[in-house]
Amino acid sequence: MELYINSTWIKCYEGAYIAETIARSENGNHATVFVTGITADEADTKLLGALRELKLIPEMSMKAEQQ
């Protein structure tokens, strides 16, 4: 599975920031995850938390990103 996370995909829409990621499997299936936040940082943090909860990114990478 490929996972695309890009901070430039954070957009502001009607006063809310939207962060987006795309997961794509080898057999052509895909899923897009959107989260919203009051700030771009909040949206990004929520997105990384959702990906961790779905076990799409390992715990170690979260700790490295926060430092």
Domain ranges of the chain: 2-62
Cross-strand pairs, 34:
20
* pLDDT at residue number 63: 46
Running along the chain, 67 residues long, what does each successive block of 10 average in pLDDT? 69 88 83 89 90 80 49
- Tokens coding 56: 């799409």
Q: How far apart are CA 12 and CA 5, in angstroms?
A: 17
Q: How far apart are CA 2 and CA 52, in angstroms?
A: 15
pTM of this structure: 0.70
Specify the DSSP class assigned to residue 9.
G
Phi, psi torsion values for 2, nearest 5 degrees:
-105, 145
